[in-house]
């Protein structure tokens, strides 16, 4: 699913109207019908529809008409009557011709009837502001939004919650707090903002008649990952395949006191389907981790035998539990200089790399870095708050500059190779515990070993990792790394 900003949305609308000849009223009608499809009409019977003067308001007026035609009880309110857009005015006229009364809101005296209506209605439909909002909400609009938020039983926002900037996700003074948002054509860039997402409720994106070619023409390579994308990339296994065809994955991980990270990463590689798996770790913990691994081999990373293992690898995952030490740096430097296969660099390997950035030149076109915000800060030299505000820009810039893939962890994880950007929506706070990053590293490495292209392997791994957490958290308060690992073979099958 493409992610777009207000500029590309305006361009698509204009192209469809002026070049393809699709009347704007047809697009508005399609939008209204999609909203109707997203209402539980068996459960809800009374609706208050609050409309602004622009095309978002026109959508709302069209929705009100369809609800009326379906025999539902409706109250319609309109702000900004003196400056209606052409299509909004057309839909207002249609309601008038049908004998549907529209309540005009122009002063605080008009808010009493609105308050009474929304408190009695099953659903409040927000159609005040759309994607064009650029200034702070004030005056009667601010008061109207407050009345809606304080008195509604259930709120559905059309396209975007009124008061949210569709590009930045910034709350423009005041905003509708919706239970559900029915958005159109593309996932709005602003939804990626934590605060905006909190005001949007469940987000559903519906197409209103725009073709893929139109969307691709005006929206850049920024995508929201979904099940359709993952299914389209998964490779079915041949009935005649053997373990050698699913790659040799090597994990370099663990240190004294941190053997669990090595075990978790290795088991994640195994359970995700890699053919042959070897854990290279420090000699002092080799016996400890070997006793915990049934399907994987082990080797001493500082022994000569490990060089051959690393050289024959399809992929190397390095970093979990190694410690931010000179010893880790020596191992990382050795692996980077003596191998040519793809690498997944995580945890302490990232911390070491941030202090020895000359190694990045040896990782071009073959590395995935999986930093959290703190690690990203150390890598790029920006403070965490700067990164939070510009996560996509920072991740894309670093990936492009170093010719690598970056997976920037966090809510709505960002994955980019510096050209295309993918946002992963799966995962939840029940997974906020130790070992989750190690598990993700293992899944990425396993998929690369099996022949998936590095960027796509990273996207698939991130989505499946969070998807399993989402499924398990329906019945579990906390989901641990071991739960994810145990469930990998079962839930991966969902994508075939």
pLDDT of residue 389: 84
Is 103 one of the annotated binding-site residues?
Answer: no
Is 442 one of the annotated binding-site residues?
Answer: no
Is 396 one of the annotated binding-site residues?
Answer: no
- Chosen CATH of 231-495 out of 2.50.20.20, 3.40.1190.20, 3.40.1000.10, 3.10.20.30: 3.40.1190.20
Closest CA to 190 of 416, 386, 5: 5
Angle at which helices 481-492 and 436-449 pack, to 10 degrees? 30
Residue 247 pLDDT grade (very low, low, confident, very high; cuts 50, 70, 90): very high
Is 141 one of the annotated binding-site residues?
Answer: yes
Is 226 one of the annotated binding-site residues?
Answer: no
Mean of per-residue pLDDT scores for the chain: 97
Compute the average pLDDT of residues 379-393. 94
Each residue of 36-87: pLDDT tens digit? 999 999 999 999 999 999 999 999 999 999 999 999 999 999 999 999 999 9
Which tokens sit at 277?
Answer: 């798996």
Is 409 one of the annotated binding-site residues?
Answer: yes
- Decide if 313 contacts 250 (C-beta within 8 A): yes
The residue written with tokens 């006229």 in the block is 93
Is 135 one of the annotated binding-site residues?
Answer: yes
Is 494 one of the annotated binding-site residues?
Answer: no
Question: How far, rounded to the nearest angstrom, does the alpha carbon of residue 489 sit from its chain's CA centroid?
Answer: 23
* Predicted model pTM: 0.91
Residues 85-109: b if buried by 16+ CB within 10 A, e if exposed:
bebbbbbbeebeeeebebeebeeee
pLDDT of residue 195: 87
Is 372 one of the annotated binding-site residues?
Answer: yes
Is 356 one of the annotated binding-site residues?
Answer: no
Is 242 one of the annotated binding-site residues?
Answer: no
The DSSP element (H or E) to which 376 belongs, if any, is helix 373-380
Is 432 one of the annotated binding-site residues?
Answer: no
Q: Do domains 3-220 and 231-495 have the same CATH topology?
A: no
pLDDT of residue 194: 83
Which CATH superfamily includes the segment(s) 3-220? YjeF N-terminal domain (3.40.50.10260)
Question: How far, rounded to the nearest angstrom, does the alpha carbon of residue 425 sit from its chain's CA centroid?
Answer: 3
- Decide if 404 contacts 369 (C-beta within 8 A): yes
Half-sphere exposure of 41 (CA within 13 A, CB side): 15
pLDDT of residue 118: 98
Is 321 one of the annotated binding-site residues?
Answer: yes
Is 71 one of the annotated binding-site residues?
Answer: no
Task: Say how far apart CA 23 and CA 27 lie, in whole Å.
Answer: 7
Each residue of 122-139: pLDDT tens digit? 999 999 999 999 999 999
Please report, for the chain, the start and end positions of each structural domain, with discontinuous segments joined by +: 3-220, 231-495
Residue 197 has pLDDT above 90, yes or no: no
Which tokens sit at 256?
Answer: 């004294």
Is 58 one of the annotated binding-site residues?
Answer: yes
């Amino acid at each position: 699913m493409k992610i777009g900003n207000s500029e590309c949305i305006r361009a698509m609308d204009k192209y469809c109207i002026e070049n393809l000849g699709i009347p704007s009223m047809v697009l508005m009608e399609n939008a209204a019908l999609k909203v109707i499809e997203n209402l539980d009409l068996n459960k809800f019977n009374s609706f208050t529809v609050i409309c602004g003067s622009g095309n978002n308001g026109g959508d709302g007026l069209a929705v009100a008409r369809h609800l009326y035609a379906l025999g539902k009880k409706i109250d319609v309110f309109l702000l900004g009557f003196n400056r209606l857009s052409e299509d909004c005015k057309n839909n207002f006229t249609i309601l008038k011709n049908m004998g549907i009364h529209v309540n005009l809101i122009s002063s605080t005296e008009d808010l009493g009837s609105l308050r009474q209506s929304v408190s009695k209605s099953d659903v409040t439909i927000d159609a005040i502001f759309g994607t064009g909002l650029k200034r702070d909400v004030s005056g009667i609009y601010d008061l109207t939004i407050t009345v809606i938020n304080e008195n509604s039983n259930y709120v559905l926002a059309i396209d975007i919650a009124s008061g949210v900037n569709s590009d930045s996700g910034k709350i423009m003074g005041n905003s509708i707090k919706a239970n559900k948002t029915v958005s159109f054509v593309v996932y709005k860039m602003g939804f990626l903002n934590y605060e905006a997402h909190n005001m949007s409720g469940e987000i559903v994106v519906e197409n209103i008649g725009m073709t893929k070619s139109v969307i691709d023409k005006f929206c850049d390579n920024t995508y929201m990952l979904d099940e359709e994308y993952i299914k389209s990339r998964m490779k079915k296994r041949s009935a005649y395949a053997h373990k050698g065809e699913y790659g040799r994955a090597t994990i370099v991980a663990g240190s004294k006191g941190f053997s669990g990270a090595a075990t978790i990463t290795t088991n994640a590689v195994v359970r995700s389907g890699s053919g042959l798996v070897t854990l290279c770790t420090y000699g002092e913990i080799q016996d400890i981790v070997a006793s915990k691994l049934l399907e994987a081999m082990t080797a001493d990373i500082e022994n000569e035998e490990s060089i051959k293992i690393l050289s024959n690898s399809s992929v190397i995952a390095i970093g979990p539990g190694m410690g931010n030490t000179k010893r880790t740096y020596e191992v990382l430097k050795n692996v980077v200089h003596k191998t040519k296969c793809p690498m997944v660099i995580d945890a302490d390997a990232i911390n070491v790399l941030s202090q020895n950035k000359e190694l990045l030149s040896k990782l071009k076109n073959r590395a995935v870095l999986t930093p959290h915000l703190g690690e990203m800060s150390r890598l790029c030299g920006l403070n965490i708050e700067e990164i939070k505000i510009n996560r996509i820009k920072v991740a894309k810039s670093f990936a492009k500059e170093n010719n690598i893939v970056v997976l920037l962890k966090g809510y709505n994880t960002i994955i980019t190779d510096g050209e295309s950007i993918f946002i992963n929506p799966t995962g939840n706070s029940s997974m906020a515990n130790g070992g989750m990053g190690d598990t993700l590293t293992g899944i990425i490495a396993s998929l690369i070993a099996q022949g998936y292209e590095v960027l796509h392997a990273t996207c698939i791994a991130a989505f499946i990792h969070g998807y399993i957490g989402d499924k398990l958290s329906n019945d579990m308060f906390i989901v641990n790394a071991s739960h994810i690992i145990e469930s990998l073979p079962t839930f991966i099958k969902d994508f075939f």
